[in-house]
Amino acid sequence: MKILYGQNLDIVLIGVGANGSHFLRNLLQDMSLYGRDMRKNRLLIADGDKTEEKNIKNQLFTPEDIGEYKVNALAERYGDHYGIDVLAVPDYITDCDMLERLFANDGRFKILIGCVDNNRTRQLMHDYFNYVSDLLYIDVGVEGVILKEELKDYSYDEMNRMIIGSGFSGQVVVGFKTNGELILPPICDVYPNVLSDTESVFPTQNCTEILNNPQRLETNKMAAQMANIIMNNLFHTGEIYQHEILFNARYGSSNARFIEARTEKYFKELQAQSKSTAAC
């Protein structure tokens, strides 16, 4: 489904941790390959986290970054390396007004990319998706590794087997609205349990009772690659093909749910009506 016709892009990435740092590095490399045309696009990254020593294991940070805001470290390192200007906002996004201000709102095509590890921020991005008239919203999520504390009722062998087999799967979901019309349902409509998660909180609202499930490096890298495939198609031909990509890093497998023919037909009809109205 072709959604871009030579428009410049206004890309906002929320979350630059385990999934987001790998995605950003790949995104900038892809943008650099398309050359001068990418200079008209705008890219902003937002995250209030500072780099900790533990982040070096599965995120793209170095010991020199410890104590520095993640967005600043990544924008400087990879933005300079690939020659792409990256705007950095070292803050947690906790309401729709903050999210709206991250975009330039200057007529460029708006793309929101969520690489967060909490459903509360996903709920906020869902609210924003419903609020605006035009938006491409890509959500990247992975399954965390099961913790021993969650398996108290299982035997030792069962517990080890379940822990070893966890943390490898994930999904990328593409939501799309144009002129106020819903074309592709976003993550919270595809997985309504995200909306019903009342325990999840924003990163600033620390809660010691909520378990923090670790993530696997290979899963993070595969999640980033699946999302980068979607973005590269936009750079290459202005098209999107997948509504959802499910993947498993343990087995090296992925399964795409492609955009249905009736959805593409409906989108083309909307485009024709828009052109007709503009002509009148």
More confident residue, 205 or 224: 224
Set out the domains of the chain in order of their start, with CATH numbers: 9-279 (3.40.50.720)
Q: Region 225-246: what's the mean pLDDT?
A: 97
Cβ-based neighbour number of residue 76 at 10 Å: 14
Q: Mean of the pLDDT values across residues 199-221?
A: 77
Residue 244 β-bridge partners: 173, 257
Q: What is the pLDDT of residues 259-268, one digit of tens each?
A: 999 999 999 9
Q: Are 9 and 233 in contact (CB under 8 A)?
A: no
Which among 165, 105, 152 has a CA at the least distance from the CA of 133?
105
Residue recorded with tokens 């947690």: 92
Task: Enter the DSSP assignment of 78.
Answer: H
pLDDT above 50 (res 248): yes
Q: Is the pLDDT of residue 208 over 50?
A: no
Higher-pLDDT residue of 203, 114: 114
What are the pLDDT digits (tens) for 222-233?
999 999 999 999
Is the pLDDT higher at 220 or at 37?
Answer: 220
Q: Quick one: pLDDT band at residue 205, thresholds 50, 70, 90?
A: low
> Quick one: pLDDT band at residue 22, thresholds 50, 70, 90?
very high
CA distance to 179, 267, 274, per residue, from 280 (Å): 17, 20, 10
Q: Tell whether pTM > 0.85.
A: yes
User: Residue 234's pLDDT band (boundaries 50, 70, 90)?
Assistant: very high
